[in-house]
Amino acid sequence: MSSLDFRRVGVIARLGGELVEDSVASVARVLEAAGVEAVFEASAAETLPDDGRRVAGRDELGDICDLVVVVGGDGSLLGVGRDLAHKNVPVLGVNRGGLGFLAGVAPEDIESTLPEMLRGGFEAEEHFLLEAVVREKGREIGRSPALNDVVVHAAGRSHMLELRVWIDEQWVYDQRGDGLIVASPTGSTAYSLSAGGPIMHPTLDAIAIVPMFPHTLTSRPLVVRGSASVRVQVENAEATGARVSCDSQVHFDLTPGRALHIEKYAHPLRLLYPLDHSFYESCRSKLDWATRLGDR
């Protein structure tokens, strides 16, 4: 992809005060200087003076834009990933959140890095999503993609879940604990990491299955091929409060009698990064890999 391909760029932003507004304004200035048509989602347009800027809904942005720039945190990028992966439009994140593992551009680098990326100075990574489907007696109850993870957990009150897990229709184990995390490589540095799961390079074709506080001393995370299908059912009849959460943003009930099916989503998300981007450098800086005892 070259700069000639970026004729129309969509801009999405979460509402978040002056810092977000400043970053959206910087992105708008860069696009205007590059002669690129900018189309704004309503929340992004609200941060700028009303001077006839083109506004479109998120679904339309995926249809008409050659690139979508997201100003926000990882949560914003997760939502955009679920919404636009099937549109096959590349996405670039400007970090205005916390860790910002998914975002490729820091706010202070917008006006130096974004012009170079618009000229073709970038690398693209394909991040596959998971798709969760909840079924009951063959009837679909709910469906959603997930860029980070699909989590089975107790809802409303704290209680132990008894889960039965199959991979490719082979019974794996019955697990008693607080729940189960099924994570993509992208999500391996998110909730899965805090539960003791492995860190996986985002381009790896694999899925991590990580028990949450298992009631056993021998339970360990399991990594399977990316094309595997995972099925989870709640076995204890009293656990009527189990839920499925996709990226902690989309939720379904998982009562006894229902089955959760998880497979690779058909459409990957293309994330753009500057040419000097390094996943390992992100781990060093964001996970304090370079910190030694006694450092200040």
* pLDDT digits 0-9 by tens, 202-217: 999 999 999 999 998 8
Residue type, 106: A
Q: Give residue-wise pLDDT tens across range 243-296.
A: 999 999 999 999 989 999 999 999 999 999 999 999 999 999 888 886 665 665
CA 295 – CA 110 distance, rounded (Å): 31
58: left (phi over 0), alpha (psi -120 to 50) or beta: alpha
pLDDT in the model for residue 196 = 95
Q: Does the structure show a pLDDT above 50 at 122?
A: yes
For the chain, residues classed under CATH 3.40.50.10330 are: 3-128+268-286
pTM of the model: 0.93
For the chain, residues classed under CATH 2.60.200.30 are: 130-264
The reply to whether CATH 2.60.200.30 applies to domain 130-264 is yes
CB count, 10 Å around CB of 115?
Answer: 15
Q: Give residue-wise pLDDT tens across range 24-41.
A: 999 999 999 999 999 999
Q: Does the structure show a pLDDT above 50 at 48?
A: yes
User: What is the CATH code of the structural domain delimited by 3-128+268-286?
Assistant: 3.40.50.10330
Round the average pLDDT of the chain to a whole number and report it: 92
Q: What is the largest CA-CA distance in the chain?
A: 62
Q: In the β-sheet with 222-225, what is the strand arrangement from edge to edge? A: 222-225, 206-212, 179-183, 149-154, 242-246, 250-253
Give the residue, 80 or 49, on which the prediction is more confident: 80
Distances (CA, A) of 132 to 45, 88, 148, 203, 260: 33, 20, 12, 20, 7
- Catalytic residues, by residue number, are 74
pLDDT in the model for residue 141 = 97
